[in-house]
Amino acid sequence: MTDTMSAYADRIVTAAAAVELVKPGAHVFLGTGCATPLSLVTALEARRPSPPDVELFHFLTSALAQDGAAYDSRFRHRAFFVGSDMSSLVRSGAAEYVPISLVQIPELIANGRIRPDVALVQVTPPDAHGWVSLGVSVDIVMAILRVAGTIIAEVNPRMPRTHGDTLIPAERIARFVQVEREVTEYRHPPIDDIAEQVARYVAEIIEDGATLQIDLGRIPNEALKHLKQRRNLGIHSNVITDGVLELIKAGVVTGAQKTLHTGRVVASFCLGTRELYDFIHDNPLFEFHPIEYVADPVIVARNHAMVSLSQAFAIDLTGQVCADQFEGGFYGGVSTLPDFHRGAVRSPGGKSIICLRSTTDDGERSRIRFQLLSGEGVGLARYDVHYIVTEFGIAYLFGKSMQERALALIEIAHPKFREQLVTQAREAHLVRSDQKMMSPRQYLVEEERVVDLADQRRVLIRPARADDAMGLKDLFHALSAQDVYTRFFRRMTSLPYEDAQRLCNVDFDRDVAFVAVEGPRENENIIGTGAYFLNPTTNYAEVAYMIAPAWQGCRLGGALQKRLREFAQARRIKGFVAEVLPSNTKMIRLARAAGDLIEQEDDEDECRIKTTF
């Protein structure tokens, strides 16, 4: 050990002396995120004369741009992710963006496309056995260091020592530069009410026992704040932030139901505050591994109920997602988006969620577009996309037709752009020529209710959506001929699309409709519906129901009636009226079961029931 420490001491130099090892034409790797070796980068930028033809390459850098000023580099850069440090350099042409999944970095190294002559990183001091830890940044760093010709390291005692595959022998490092400064801290900027609403909707999809991958976007990280009521969540993520720490302290993240690395938080790098760094220091709860392991779709899929949550810039009506360009400029990157997405959807009970604001920040343009703009590349193909979430609701696209996905996306677009999107979709034959959008508001997720029926079955009663039309047609065809007659007062063998739309494509002001569904959100089956249509002159609403035969007799009709009544009473509606056949004893019993004031008028052909709340 004495020899090891002596050799370590012999290699301690100043930053200026260390970067003299960078030769002309060298390809120089910079460490990632909050572990970016700032003193080494500063010394290299200050070197005079500058070594010619040097290229710096990296994944995500942090704190190179100071005090809001753009980072001005003397060298050309090659970036696998365009963050705030690199955005101005990419726009000016002084940096090149490489769109690639980080999982493929080892492949580029193996075939010589990436040639790390020198690597500049930040590490912990050597331990008693002569090993240093990469601390908060393993990601692509470990793959680079395994083949780098020369490694130069800042040694920072403030860097947390982390568990997992984070150690390299000090003897591999050519020069050490001692620094003692706080590891760069990262805090997500505050979000507004719109992003907050998106985050709330995202949290609605995440269930107890899920294992989460949370990408770097503000909205995904805000969603963590709305998971305090969940139980036994796990983390298997490319990156972790302080939001994960809050859930651990709240007892929400336990990893108890993880099927891979049970009880452990698995990540590849960390961006956070000193509080998070102190918590992960020498804490076996956390395991940091190279990105090619953490984001390998096969590995990801081994986690039961894996949820991948990422943020996008735009999506078109067919479901094509853009995640690394916005209005012609590169920002963000491919990173691990496709890998976690594919792993999550292959996981038993897994989900992939893409979230975005419905409009640009100034509210002038829709991010849900008829077509992606020129300069907006496809990060996820339409056939791969599952959940899309905006502040106006949740759309599930996988396995849906072009018409179904266009309707679902228009319904979660900003209301002021919906009519334009419907018109464009009609002209392109993406939707029917008679398609209209009625609801001017967001999907009312707060009005969803899970109810237990008399036979112990559990169903979800939720607000109807425009894309429920085909599900309602299926419900219609499940009815008996007598059920159809008692519901519609005539013999019908089909439910015209226009009539189906009237039962689901409503404004939730004068006209309201709820559907009862069974099964997961990804594969819902509509088993019942209740709707009312308000007469503003009388302030009474005409009410009607359809219940699938297999679900009659278990009080589903009563549950739908209760949901409609609650909604109506909250809007000060006086009551319901229903025109029913005298033979429709089920409907008459349902009306009387509410216990309110009932007025019943009978004649030979029909019975009029008036319920006053």
Q: What are the tens digits of pLDDT across the range 411-427?
A: 999 999 999 999 999 99
How many Å apart are CA 370 and CA 315, to the nearest integer?
Answer: 8
Q: Are residues 452 and 420 in the same domain?
A: no
Q: Are residues 225 and 323 in the same domain?
A: yes
Among residues 392, 427, 462, which one ends one of the domains? 427
pLDDT, average across residues 572-600: 72
Q: Are residues 203 and 172 in the same domain?
A: no
Per residue in 58-84, pLDDT (tens digit) is 999 998 987 667 888 999 999 999 998
Q: Are residues 327 and 413 in the same domain?
A: yes
Structure tokens given for 479: 């009815």
Among residues 399, 427, 455, which one ends one of the domains? 427
Residue 3's pLDDT band (boundaries 50, 70, 90)?
low
Q: Mapping DSSP to helix (H, G, I), strand (E, B) and coil, where does residue 176 land?
A: strand
Structure tokens given for 359: 């409009």
How many Å apart are CA 47 and CA 49, to the nearest integer?
Answer: 6
AA letter at 499: D
Q: Mapping DSSP to helix (H, G, I), strand (E, B) and coil, where does residue 462 land?
A: strand
Going through 320-397 in order, the beta strands assigned E by DSSP cover 321-322, 325-326, 329-330, 351-355, 368-369, 387-390, 393-396
Cα–Cα nearest to 451, from 558, 588, 565, 576: 558
Number of domain units in the chain: 3
Q: Domain with 317 in it: what CATH number?
A: 3.40.1080.20
Q: Are residues 573 and 460 in the same domain?
A: yes
How many Å apart are CA 382 and CA 356, to the nearest integer?
Answer: 16
Per residue in 589-606, pLDDT (tens digit) is 776 666 555 566 656 566
User: Which H or E run contains 247?
Assistant: helix 242-249
Q: Which residues pair with 164 in a beta bridge?
A: 288
Q: Are residues 158 and 199 in the same domain?
A: no
Q: Are residues 256 and 167 in the same domain?
A: no
Q: What is the pTM of this model?
A: 0.87
Q: Are residues 456 and 379 in the same domain?
A: no
Q: Is the pLDDT of residue 200 over 80?
A: yes
In a domain, 456, yes or no: yes
Q: Domain with 27 in it: what CATH number?
A: 3.40.1080.10
The torsion angles phi and psi of 174, rounded to 5 degrees, stand at: -75, -40
Whether residue 267 contacts residue 295, with contact meaning beta carbons closer than 8 Å, is answered with no
Q: Are residues 395 and 497 in the same domain?
A: no
Ramachandran class of 135: left when φ > 0, alpha when ψ lies in -120 to 50, beta otherwise:
left
In a domain, 432, yes or no: no
- The CA dihedral of 395, 396, 402, 407, to the nearest 10 degrees, is -30
In a domain, 167, yes or no: yes
User: Which H or E run contains 267?
Assistant: strand 265-267
AA letter at 578: A
* Other Cβ atoms closer than 10 A to 106: 19
Per residue in 441-455, pLDDT (tens digit) is 777 888 999 999 998
Which range, 375-379, 403-407, 575-579, 595-599, is most confident? 403-407
Rounded alpha-carbon distances, angstroms, from residue 92 to 77, 328, 330: 12, 13, 12
Q: Mapping DSSP to helix (H, G, I), strand (E, B) and coil, where does residue 517 land?
A: strand
How many Å apart are CA 541 and CA 574, to the nearest integer?
Answer: 8
For residue 198, with 0-12 CB atoms within 10 Å meaning exposed, 13-18 middle and 19 or more buried, which class applies?
Answer: buried
Cα 569 from chain centre: 35
Among residues 427, 459, 490, which one ends one of the domains? 427
Question: Which domain does 142 fall in, by range?
Answer: 2-178
Per residue in 14-67, pLDDT (tens digit) is 999 999 999 999 999 999 999 999 999 999 999 999 999 999 999 999 989 876
Per residue in 231-274, pLDDT (tens digit) is 999 999 999 999 999 999 999 999 999 999 999 999 999 999 99
Q: Are residues 242 and 270 in the same domain?
A: yes
Q: Are residues 161 and 215 in the same domain?
A: no
Q: Mapping DSSP to helix (H, G, I), strand (E, B) and coil, where does residue 95 land?
A: strand
Say how many CA atoms lie within 13 Å of 381 toward its Cβ.
5
Helix, strand, coil % in the chain, rounded to nearest 5: 30, 25, 45
Cα–Cα nearest to 590, from 536, 505, 550, 530: 530
Per residue in 387-398, pLDDT (tens digit) is 999 999 899 999
How many Å apart are CA 254 and CA 267, to the nearest integer?
Answer: 15
Q: Mapping DSSP to helix (H, G, I), strand (E, B) and coil, where does residue 586 land?
A: helix
